[in-house]
Amino acid sequence: GQQLNQSPQSMFIQEGEDVSMNCTSSSIFNTWLWYKQEPGEGPVLLIALYKAGELTSNGRLTAQFGITRKDSFLNISASIPSDVGIYFCAGPLTQGGSEKLVFGKGTKLTVNP
Amino acid sequence: NAGVTQTPKFQVLKTGQSMTLQCAQDMNHEYMSWYRQDPGMGLRLIHYSVGAGITDQGEVPNGYNVSRSTTEDFPLRLLSAAPSQTSVYFCASSYQGLAGVDEQFFGPGTRLTVL
């Protein structure tokens, strides 16, 4: 089954507000990835994190790799309407000797102008 | 570069029909994978391949077959479609074959309905 728990499932915010979402797992991850999926499109990578405690920014987006390596956080500052979409966390999981990318169920963000 | 391309964009099948979802990439990526996306379920891995001639099962492989005869192409076959396979299917690829190290590039998706 899926290994990553994302919360919240959905968010409805006003333009200009800040957004926080997180992803947790019972397994340790060595890499955390955050993707955004816009309606009708495939996911696109926003931020990649490779080291526990790492804090990385991409414009108004900031993501952190949790110290325990079992969680990660994504913040969006001063949201705008084009931030609408589903945000997924993902990480590589080694099972049966090979590495696969597993995804959380996503946080659906709606921004009201 | 076209990136990752998928055909068709939309497909309607009747229960029991077979079809192949096509996926191609022109980035010389070793790693390719297929996911299905259902409401509230995120992206679940169906099958993946770390290089030509090598495939392996993901989280939800039942009812699907894959092959990887070339680096560029990774088709997904439904041998006998079932309504439970109604979903949006995404193909993805990455360079080094290690999912966590490299960015996975996703195609635009195929929306499949099985009646």
* pLDDT attached to residue A47: 94
The band of B99, judged by pLDDT with boundaries at 50, 70 and 90, is: very low
In the predicted model, is pLDDT for residue A97 greater than 70?
no
Q: Distance from A79 to chain B by nearest Cα, in Å?
A: 23
What are the backbone dihedrals phi and psi of residue B84, each rounded to the nearest 5 degrees, phi first?
A: -65, -10
Considering only residues 74 to 113 of chain B, which have any Cβ-Cβ distance to chain A shorter than 8 Å? 90, 92, 98-101, 103-104, 106-109
Nearest CA in chain B to A48: B103
Amino acid at B57: Q
B34 in contact with A at a CB cutoff of 8 Å?
no
* Model confidence pLDDT, tens digit, residues A58-71: 999 999 999 999 99
The whole-angstrom separation of Cα B90 and Cα B49 is 14
A34 in contact with B at a CB cutoff of 8 Å?
no
A85 in contact with B at a CB cutoff of 8 Å?
no
A31 in contact with B at a CB cutoff of 8 Å?
yes
The band of A100, judged by pLDDT with boundaries at 50, 70 and 90, is: confident
Taking Cα atoms as reference points, which of A48, A5, A7 lies closest to residue A26? A5
B90 token code pair: 């995404």
The band of B103, judged by pLDDT with boundaries at 50, 70 and 90, is: confident
* Model confidence pLDDT, tens digit, residues A13-58: 999 999 999 999 998 998 899 999 998 899 999 999 999 999 999 9
* Model confidence pLDDT, tens digit, residues B12-70: 999 999 999 999 999 999 889 999 999 878 899 999 998 899 999 988 999 999 999 99
Bigger pLDDT: A100 vs B91: B91
Half-sphere exposure at residue B34, Cβ-oriented, CA atoms within 13 angstroms: 29
Inter-chain CB proximity B100 and A31 less than 8 Å: yes
In the predicted model, is pLDDT for residue B100 greater than 50?
no
- DSSP labels, A39-85: TTS--EEEEEE-STT-EEEETTEEEEE-TTSSEEEEEE-S--GGG-E
* pLDDT attached to residue B50: 86
Inter-chain CB proximity B48 and A2 less than 8 Å: no
The whole-angstrom separation of Cα B76 and Cα B78 is 7
